[in-house]
Amino acid sequence: MERETRAPELSAHDWKILKTLQQDGRLSNSELAKRVGLSPSACWNHTRRLFETKVIRCVRALIDPKMVDRETAVLVGIVLDRSTKAVFEEFAEAARTLPQVLECYLVAGEIDYFLKIRVRDISAFNRFHSEKILSLPGVRQVRTFFVLDEIKTDGELPL
């Protein structure tokens, strides 16, 4: 386990760039420069460093799930059988691999793992549930929470 790098120092310009690109990642460099009050070349250097130092992990188009037939979201809490390291790692690896799993967290409390699943409809979730989740080794309990309404998704990091 190695220590993660922390941002060395972020200038006021860097923060502005982060805020702006978080809201619209497709802004041109010249437009970005105007908004943060820098010359295009200076702005370019800042932005490049933010990518190189991995402060910005990536830029991603957010697609409306309704439009591409992935309307159904389900939150799933998992309790594992035995709390051995191998069991946990095997589960985590499966979650990483399955494309229907959009998020997966190891948590403290009455639950071991929380998953956010996205599929076409409820019957697709049923298939996923029985074929993928239940067939994983070490799964003792599965608590399923169907999402009735998405109040907020993909909220921006407060900066």
Partner DNA sequence: AATTTATCAGAATGTCCTTCCGGAATAGTC
Partner DNA sequence: GACTATTCCGGAAGGACATTCTGATAAATT
**Residue 26: helix, strand or coil by DSSP?**
coil
Check if the beta carbon of residue 43 is closer than 8 Å to that of residue 33. yes
Q: Which does 13 bind (CB under 5 to 8 A by kind): DNA, its own copies, none?
A: DNA
> CA-to-CA distance for 80 and 142, rounded, in angstroms?
9
> CA-to-CA distance for 19 and 6, rounded, in angstroms?
18
Check if the beta carbon of residue 125 is closer than 8 Å to that of residue 69. no
Binding to its own copies by residue 12, rule CB under 8 A? no
* Residues near DNA (CB under 7 A), total: 16
Q: Which does 1 bind (CB under 5 to 8 A by kind): DNA, its own copies, none?
A: none
Binding to its own copies by residue 60, rule CB under 8 A? yes
Q: Is 88 exposed, middle or buried (0-12, 13-18, 19+ CB in 10 A)?
A: middle
- The site string for its own copies over 20-49 (x = CB under 8 A, - otherwise) reads -xxxxxx-----------------------
Q: State in angstroms the smallest separation of the CB of 108 from DNA.
A: 39
DSSP-derived letter for residue 53 is: T
Q: Which residues bind DNA (CB under 7 A)?
A: 11, 13, 28-31, 37-42, 44-46, 48
Q: Which residues bind its own copies (CB under 8 A)?
A: 4, 6-7, 10, 18, 21-26, 53-68, 70, 73, 75, 92, 95-96, 99-111, 113-114, 118, 143-159
